[in-house]
């Protein structure tokens, strides 16, 4: 109990609504909670919000977040997320078998989109333009990763 109290005292909420919560912990790490899923990666958080069609904190300044991202996390959500990769209705191979190839092709555009965005809304737009679900899916079909 005391431990949770000390964590709560060191949290600073940046954004909060019924589906998204963004806060700093110990004035250092920014934590994103989207529909109960938690990440430290801004690109993954934006991709989760896009995938889940969340009206998120799109006007927030992107420069306040750490932009060293893991494209694989973001690409997982942009390519269909849990719905596609768990059920595999459209994909022929599990995510971990395709991840390296997908990241090799789409990782650079994801990093560029994150680095060049000034707001989370601009990051969303740049990510969905650089690595849209239809583009990723078509590329996966060509590689034999999808039906």
Residue by residue, pLDDT tens for the chain (147 residues) are 334 444 456 689 999 999 999 999 877 889 999 999 999 999 999 999 999 999 989 999 999 999 999 999 999 999 999 999 999 999 999 999 999 999 999 999 999 999 999 999 999 999 999 999 999 999 999 999 999
Supply the DSSP symbol for 118.
S
Instruction: Give the closest residue to 59 by CA, choosing from 15, 106, 5, 13.
Output: 15
Q: What is the pLDDT of residue 28?
A: 80
Question: What is residue 27's predicted lDDT score, i.e. its pLDDT?
Answer: 74
Task: Look at residue 11 in the predicted model and tell me its pLDDT.
Answer: 85
Tokens linked to 106? 């789409």
- pLDDT score recorded for residue 98: 95
Q: For residue 126, how many other CB atoms are within 10 A of its CB?
A: 19
Going by C-alpha positions, the residue among 15, 12, 111, 112 that lies closest to residue 55 is 15
pLDDT at 117: 97
Cβ neighbors of 75 (< 8 A, separation 6 or more) are 47, 99, 102, 103, 106, 107, 110, 131, 136
So what's the pLDDT on residue 8?
Answer: 59
pLDDT, position 75: 98
CA angle at 14 for the pair 13 and 18, rounded to the nearest 5°: 75
Residue 102's pLDDT is what? 97
């Amino acid at each position: 109990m005391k431990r949770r109290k000390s964590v709560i005292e060191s949290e600073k909420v940046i954004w909060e609504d019924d589906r998204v919560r963004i806060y700093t912990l110990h004035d250092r790490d920014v934590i994103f909670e989207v529909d109960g899923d938690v990440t430290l990666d801004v690109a993954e958080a934006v991709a989760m919000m896009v995938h889940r069609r969340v009206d998120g904190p799109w006007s927030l300044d992107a420069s306040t977040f750490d932009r060293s991202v893991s494209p694989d996390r973001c690409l997982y959500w942009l390519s269909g997320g849990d719905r596609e990769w768990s059920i595999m209705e459209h994909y022929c191979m599990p995510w971990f078998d395709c991840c390296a190839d997908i990241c090799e092709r789409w990782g650079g555009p994801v990093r560029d989109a994150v680095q060049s965005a000034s707001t989370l809304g601009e990051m969303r737009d740049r990510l969905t333009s650089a690595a849209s679900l239809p583009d990723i899916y078509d590329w996966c079909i060509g590689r034999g990763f999808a039906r």
